[in-house]
Amino acid sequence: MLEIILKVEGMHCGMCEAHVSDAVRKAVPARSVKSSHARGETVILAEEDCSALARAAVEAQGYGVLGVSVRPYEKRGVFARLFKK
């Protein structure tokens, strides 16, 4: 599982978050997509690196993508540490 973080420019409200998240969900096979205008980012959980597709989907909606980072996803929290394989 990968965590893909897009730094998105131009989100100003909750509706912007919804537009960006919906566009990404339609473009990539993601398990989870969450956008935050306060943080200026969209976080995607996916099985494979789909950052190029996600970037294109966000830019097609008129938002700018300032950067992309991809890293292995690890669950956080007490239960995740207790039951880590």
Residue 62 has pLDDT above 70, yes or no: yes
Contacts 24+ apart (CB under 8 A), 39-43: 40/7, 40/8, 40/9, 40/11, 40/66, 41/5, 41/6, 41/7, 41/8, 42/5, 42/6, 42/8, 43/3, 43/4, 43/5
Does residue 41 or residue 85 have the better pLDDT? 41
- Structure confidence at residue 77 as a pLDDT band (50, 70, 90): low
- Please write the tens of the pLDDT for every residue from 6-58: 999 999 999 999 999 999 999 999 999 999 999 999 999 999 999 999 999 99
Look at residue 78 in the predicted model and tell me its pLDDT.
Answer: 55
Domains by residue range for the chain, with CATH: 2-82 (3.30.70.100)
pLDDT at residue 84, rounded to an integer: 56
pLDDT of residue 75: 77
